[in-house]
């Protein structure tokens, strides 16, 4: 989700600057019709992407709220004990020092782990 959101922001910035590097069909049109006035269309595309960014942010706002709670499970072996909730600190230390989960972590998907 973070990657998609970042890509939308990148697309918006690039289209605003008439950079069509990630839009090959638009680049072809731009090259084929050098005299075409694409600025109005580009503004329209920027507007659509802006709407997508707003809607995406609205629909997934809960994820940013719980991100701190999820992070220990995605970066379990690189987390510092002080960064997690106090009730989880001792469990984190035990898990990080146990070789069995550490060896299985790279082999399993997050939900399976």
**pLDDT tens digits for 45-61?**
999 999 999 999 999 88
Question: pLDDT of 20-54, one tens digit each?
Answer: 899 999 888 878 876 667 788 889 999 999 999 99
Query: Could you count the other beta carbons within 10 Å of the beta carbon of residue 29?
Result: 14
Please identify which residue in the block is written with the tokens 């973070």.
2
Mark out the alpha helices in the chain (DSSP H runs): 2-16, 24-32, 39-59, 61-74, 89-97, 99-104
Distance CA 55, CA 10 (A): 16
What phi and psi values does residue 105 have, to the nearest 5 degrees? -55, -50
Query: Could you count the other beta carbons within 10 Å of the beta carbon of residue 92?
Result: 18
Question: pLDDT of 67-109, one tens digit each?
Answer: 777 776 777 888 888 888 898 899 989 989 988 877 887 777 7
Would the pTM of this model clear 0.85, i.e. be above it? no
């Amino acid at each position: 989700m973070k990657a998609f959101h970042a890509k939308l922001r990148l697309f918006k910035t690039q289209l605003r600057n008439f950079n069509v590097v990630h839009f090959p069909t638009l680049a072809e049109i731009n090259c084929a019709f050098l005299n075409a006035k694409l600025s109005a269309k580009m503004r329209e595309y920027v507007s659509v992407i802006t709407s997508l960014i707003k809607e995406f942010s609205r629909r997934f706002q809960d994820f940013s709220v719980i991100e701190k709670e999820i992070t220990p499970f995605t970066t379990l072996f690189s987390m510092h004990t002080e960064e997690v909730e106090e009730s989880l600190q001792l469990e984190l230390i035990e898990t990080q020092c146990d070789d069995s989960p550490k060896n299985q972590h790279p082999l399993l998907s997050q939900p399976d782990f």
